[in-house]
Amino acid sequence: MFNIIVCAKQVPDTNEIKINPETGSLIRDGVPSILNPDDANALEEALKVKDTDPDNIHVTVVSMGPPQAQDMLFECIAMGADEAVLLSDRAVGGSDTWATSNAITAVIKKLPFDMIFSGRQAIDGDTAQVGPQIAEKLDLPLVTYVQKFEIASDKKSVKVERQLEDGYEVIEAPIPCMLTCTKELNTPRYMNMAGIFNPDKKITVWSAKDVEVDLTTVGLKASPTNVFRSFTPKPKGKGTMLSGDTEKDVAQKLVGSLKKKHVI
Amino acid sequence: MSEVNFAEYKNIWVFAEQRDGKIMNVALELIGEGKRLAAELGDDAKVVALLVGSEEQVKDLPKECFTYGADMVYTVTDPLLEKYTTDAYCSVITQAIQKFKPEIILYGATHIGRDLAPRVAGRANVGLTADCTHLDISLAKYIDFAEANTTLNTAGLDRNDPDKKLKMTRPAFGGNLMATIVSPTSRPQMATVRPGVMQKLEPNPNATGEVVEFKPVLTEADLRVKVLEIVKSAKELVSLTEADIICSGGRGLGGPEGFELIQKFADKVGGVVGSSRACVDAGWIGHDHQVGQTGTTVKPKIYFACGISGAIQHLAGMQNSECIVAINKDPDAPIFEVADYGIVGDLYKVIPEIMDAWDNAEALADALK
């Protein structure tokens, strides 16, 4: 069996978050929780590998979070993952990226794996740190920002494109390895009935004790970064609305004003 | 984590990222920021540029680091460092940290910095804050920053507090929230910083300083991945962070062909083309044009937001532009809240008129009373 692990996170849909203009605080009520978008690309790529030999390739989704993160894992199974594991324990609550990677590494060490896929970053924190830190804790070769993926027919290596700001690198990595995936990699599939109703597919919930993680390396207290303060940015004052009889009038007022204010 | 003796950790390092022997702009920005922080840190803290690469790539670069304010340069060279690989760079930087014990390390939040820094943090077991947009050491400076730019109630903070932890401020939740992070228990304190937000110093071509060579232990076996090829994208390099003028299109363009007008507009005013996330997600334009929390942070002299409604995640990436001009059909679009000049109208009619008026600016300015 060739085993692929996909790391996934349940996140609030940050496009739906609003700010209360009076208090300046976040309104999270009614904001839907979703499978982190880049993680959906990671799962899709794993499932594409599985499609090549479904009986001999096993895809396990691993996550950490509160019990309701099972909803997201159910979605992963409905897309085609074989099983899912959720680490859910107050002891790991409040973990920063370093502590989170320790916790998830402990989960992965309990599972057989040949390859690990994760999303490039999660939309709630946008840090892109947990994937590389898991690779470090597991001493695995790492490629981030993967935008194209190919696995050798002998499944001993992969050839990938790693996105750069002004192009890409073509990289060959041995298996086992860890890859973090961008949205350019693929288009995630929809959930399907076979996935939803397959009774062999299960979600396992583990505690910190189950994964035998060193409790001095997880949770809020063990985290090397702390939030000192948090706040919302100050809204910028409203500027000048320009109007006129025609588009030409308005455009001329604009260009004239930019010149007058020495902007151009 | 084992106990660390904080007194041993000194100086501010900047990972002076180079590609093909050319220093990334963000590294020079970070040297400038490092200088500012060093003054707040006191104790003769030095700004040290860390140059990693092949000898050929690195040999002419210390001068540039000094010109932009570095006090000292460490060079780490080896033929195996010619192409960036996570394994090799992580190994040599961790070795350098162990030997020299810096108090702070700043990396550009580039595709390389964001690959390297977390792996170094994982190996050195230290805290790392991603994608910072503001840094402070002195609490008084932090209070000034917070009062000018944020909704934070600073009543509980003491201007005279001697605390010298690095306060790393970054956006979260798509720019809806800002958080200031500290790493009180581990050293070095590490941050990646978004390109384009910090200020380069005025170059001083006569500046000079000490160059120290560091020879790490590195063998071919340490490099587990192989970079077979580096491909530059054929299309013109989009340099949003360096542009004086950005013409950005949003969903209001109605379709990918709308970017043809935006491109003409940009050509006319000498700008580059930006985009909202919605257009990138819809496949209308490449991701390298994306401005916003998950794209590029920009602060050009003029930002034209054309058909962009102004989602918070977009505002997070452009609201520090010197002048924002918004053109949108919807008078209630949030983009007007941050615009210096707002025009409610059809961008397909307004933009061609702006292009027409552009060469006439002098006369039009005189015509305004």
Residue pLDDT, tens place only, B286-316: 988 999 877 788 888 899 999 999 998 898 8
> How far apart are the C-alpha atoms of B278 and B44, rounded to whole Å?
48
Contacts of residue B116, Cβ cutoff 8 Å, sequence gap at least 6? B15, B84, B86, B89, B90, B93, B107
pLDDT at A114 over 70: yes
- CATH architecture assigned to A2-222: 3-Layer(aba) Sandwich (3.40)
pLDDT (0 to 100) of residue A190 = 94
> How far apart are the C-alpha atoms of A93 and A91, rounded to whole Å?
6
Stretch A21-48: mean pLDDT, rounded?
85
> Residue ranges of chain B with pLDDT lower than 50?
1
Residues A252, B360: C-beta atoms closer than 8 Å: yes
Q: What share of chain B is helix, strand, coil (3-state, %, to 5)?
A: 35, 25, 40
For B88-141, strand residue ranges (E) read 104-108, 128-132, 134-136
pLDDT at A195 over 80: no
Collapsing DSSP states into helix, strand and coil, what is residue B114? Answer: helix
pLDDT (0 to 100) of residue A237 = 65
Contacts of A123 in chain B (CB under 8 A): 174, 294
Contacts of A235 in chain B (CB under 8 A): 337-338
Structural domains of chain B, ranges and CATH numbers in brackets: 6-222 (3.40.50.620), 240-367 (3.40.50.1220)
pLDDT (0 to 100) of residue B323 = 93
The C-alpha angle with vertex B323 and arms to B320 and B327, in degrees rounded to 5, equals: 110
> How far apart are the C-alpha atoms of A238 and B341, rounded to whole Å?
9
Residues A254, B130: C-beta atoms closer than 8 Å: no
Q: Which two tokens stand for residue B52?
A: 């990693």
- Backbone dihedral angles phi then psi of residue B145, each to the nearest 5 degrees: -60, -50
Nearest alpha-carbon partner for A1 in A114, A151, A161, A116 = A114
Q: Which residue of B has its CA nearest to A222?
A: B1
Q: Which long-range contacts (CB under 8 A, 24 or more apart) does B276-279 make?
A: B276/B248, B276/B249, B276/B250, B276/B251, B276/B308, B276/B309, B276/B311, B276/B314, B277/B311, B277/B313, B277/B314, B278/B250, B278/B251, B278/B311, B279/B249, B279/B250, B279/B251, B279/B253
pLDDT (0 to 100) of residue A26 = 67
pLDDT (0 to 100) of residue B237 = 54
Q: Which residue of A has its CA nearest to B128?
A: A225
pLDDT (0 to 100) of residue B177 = 82
pLDDT (0 to 100) of residue A234 = 73
Contacts of B368 in chain A (CB under 8 A): 253, 256-257, 260
pLDDT (0 to 100) of residue B138 = 96
Taking only the tens place, the pLDDT of each residue in B105-160 is: 999 999 999 999 999 999 999 999 999 999 999 999 999 999 988 888 899 999 99
CA distances in angstroms from B363 to A253, B341, B367, listed in the order given: 11, 19, 6
Collapsing DSSP states into helix, strand and coil, what is residue B163? Answer: coil
Top pLDDT among A217 and B234 is at: A217
Share of chain A above pLDDT 70, in %: 95
Collapsing DSSP states into helix, strand and coil, what is residue B230? Answer: strand
> How far apart are the C-alpha atoms of A221 and A94, rounded to whole Å?
8
Specify the length of chain A in residues: 264
The C-alpha angle with vertex B194 and arms to A165 and B140, in degrees rounded to 5, equals: 175
Residues A172, B228: C-beta atoms closer than 8 Å: yes
| DSSP code at position B228 | E
Contacts of residue B6, Cβ cutoff 8 Å, sequence gap at least 6? B187
Q: Which residue's entry shows tokens 């949770």?
A: A219
| DSSP code at position A233 | B
Instruction: Tell me how many residue pairs between chain A and chain B have CB atoms under 8 A apart.
Output: 285
- B185, B197, B340, B355: best to mutate for the A interface, most A CBs within 10 A: B340
Nearest alpha-carbon partner for A253 in B322, B321, B353 = B353
A172-189 burial, b at 16+ Cβ within 10 Å, e below that, comes to bbebebbbbbbbbbbebb
Q: What is the H or E stretch that residue B306 is in?
A: strand B302-306
Specify the length of chain B in residues: 369
Who among B111, B129, B311 is closest to A145 (CB)?
A: B111
Name beta bridge partners: B193: B108, B132
Taking only the tens place, the pLDDT of each residue in A138-150 is: 999 999 999 999 9
The minimum CA-CA distance between A134 and chain B, rounded to whole Å, is 8
Residues B233, A263: C-beta atoms closer than 8 Å: no
The minimum CA-CA distance between B48 and chain A, rounded to whole Å, is 24
Question: Please, what sign has the CA dihedral across residues A32, A37, A39, A41?
Answer: positive
On whether the CB atoms of residues B276 and B248 are closer than 8 A, the answer is yes
Q: What is the H or E stretch that residue B305 is in?
A: strand B302-306
Rounded to two decimals, the ipTM of the complex is 0.90
Task: Please state at what angle helix A70-79 crosses helix A37-51, rounded to 10 degrees.
Answer: 30
Contacts of residue A146, Cβ cutoff 8 Å, sequence gap at least 6? A45, A160, A161, A162, A163, A179, A180, A181, A182, A185
- What is the signed CA dihedral for A113, A149, A15, A240, rounded to 10 degrees? 150
Parallel/antiparallel/unpaired status of strands B341-344 and B323-328: parallel
On whether the CB atoms of residues A135 and B166 are closer than 8 A, the answer is no
Greatest alpha-carbon pair distance for chain B in Å reads 72
> How far apart are the C-alpha atoms of A106 and A92, rounded to whole Å?
12
Contacts of B185 in chain A (CB under 8 A): 224
> How far apart are the C-alpha atoms of B204 and B202, rounded to whole Å?
6
The minimum CA-CA distance between A89 and chain B, rounded to whole Å, is 21
Looking at A55-64, A82-91, B58-67, B151-160, which range is the least confident one?
A: B151-160
- The segment with the largest mean pLDDT, out of A22-26, A180-184, B286-290, is A180-184
Nearest alpha-carbon partner for A62 in A89, A84, A82 = A84
A112-143 burial, b at 16+ Cβ within 10 Å, e below that, comes to ebbbbbbbbbbbbbbbbbbbbbbbbbbebbbb
The minimum CA-CA distance between B237 and chain A, rounded to whole Å, is 6
On whether the CB atoms of residues A118 and A181 are closer than 8 A, the answer is yes
| DSSP code at position A65 | S
The minimum CA-CA distance between A4 and chain B, rounded to whole Å, is 19
